[in-house]
Amino acid sequence: MSVDLKNTLVIGISSRSLFDLEGENRIFEEQGLDAYRAYQIDHEDVPPKQGTAFHLVEAILKLNQYREQGRPPLVEVIILSRNDAGMGLRIFNGIKSYGLDEHITRAAFVSGASLAPYLDAYSVDLFLSKSEQDVQEAVNAGVAAAVIQEPPEGYEPDRDVIRLAFDGDAVLFSDEAERVFQEVKARDGHEAAVQAFVDHERENAQKELPEGPFGKLLKTLAKMNGRFPPEERPVRIALVTARNAPAHERVIRTLRAWNVDVDEAFFLGGLPKAPVLQAFRTHLFFDDQPAHVDPASRTVPAGQVPYLKLTSSEQD
């Protein structure tokens, strides 16, 4: 019988994001594919350590306890890997060792080929990987995607609520305002760029911001939360942005136009994001700038969202 995932939140995840396989990856980089394959086969029954996105996957799969009888699952997690099927056996064994084998049953092992063509085939809404190339190709294909950073030491996730945090410009929203800032900064310096950004957003306060790479995902999460009473929502969403007043107004009006309620919003005006994210206890934070992602990743799981790269014909 055919399975339809169109009304399910589908997360595609690489094996290196779900599990900590950095030691294995070093074998691949230093000794080659044959040594890597031999290691994986020799260790098929040794469960990998939990990776950066493991806690998020474990938590979000629990949403399926709210699934109505006869309805598709609320969430589906699919392994998308450049490994071949033989090496994938260790991944499935690892999934089973952590008790997730009833929930994660689908995978694509493409033996080094590009994963981007299969994202639409699997109806993927969010793709998480440690491969910058794979994530860039996903973003170019119109899929929300992030490069997962190394797992922070001593991180303890919230066991009751799923907590997701998003930057605004170039993540939830387009990079329209960010481009204004960067163009003026390159020409006239930082202070002039800040003023140009503020002026641009004040002038366009009544104009809805265009949707960014994670806009659709935010709407999907908001729709999912809408199935529950406000006090019982299983996903808590935070906007964590370097904006402050008066640039806050356009953001709030845009979320209102999208019919999206975020649970917490932090307009930091240049203050560091990491302490707020740690206090929020986020399962995963998404931002486009390494200056925010790098310090955040030392305390909470984080992913960097690359910019859309246009082809030469699109740029023309």
Domain-wise residue ranges, the chain = 9-148, 162-315
Quote the tokens at residue 94.
Answer: 């690892």
pLDDT digits (tens, 9 = 90+) for 169-204: 999 999 888 888 888 888 878 888 888 888 888 888
Cα–Cα distances (Å) from 16 to 12, 57, 136, 262, 287, in that order, read: 12, 13, 16, 30, 20
- Whether 9-148 shares its CATH topology with 162-315 is answered yes
Pairing of strands 235-241, 264-267: parallel
Mean per-residue pLDDT of the chain: 90
pLDDT of residue 90: 92
Percent of the chain with pLDDT over 70: 97
d(CA 177, CA 50): 37
Instruction: Region of 124 please: left (phi>0), alpha (psi -120 to 50) or beta.
Output: beta
Quote the tokens at residue 275.
Answer: 């302490």
Q: Is the pLDDT of residue 313 over 60?
A: no
- Catalytic residue, chosen from 167, 169, 175, 288, is 167
**pLDDT band for position 2 (50/70/90)?**
low
Do residues 148 and 303 lie in contact, with contact meaning Cβ atoms separated by under 8 Å? Answer: yes
d(CA 279, CA 261): 20
**Prior bond to 210 cis, omega within 30?**
no
Mean of pLDDT values over 283-300: 96
**pLDDT band for position 166 (50/70/90)?**
very high
The per-residue DSSP string of 126-143 comes to: EEEES-HHHHHHHHHTT-
> Candidates 3.40.50, 1.20.58, 3.40.30, 2.60.40; correct CATH number of 9-148?
3.40.50
pLDDT of residue 188: 79
Backbone angles phi and psi of 294, in degrees to 5: -60, -50
Mean of pLDDT values over 278-282: 95
- Class level of CATH domain 162-315: alpha beta
Q: pTM to 2 decimals?
A: 0.90
Do residues 97 and 87 lie in contact, with contact meaning Cβ atoms separated by under 8 Å? Answer: no
Which of 110-114, 199-203, 292-296 has the highest average model confidence (pLDDT)? 292-296
- The verdict on whether 167 is a catalytic residue reads yes
Mean of pLDDT values over 149-177: 91
| Residue 200: how many other CB atoms lie within 10 Å | 18
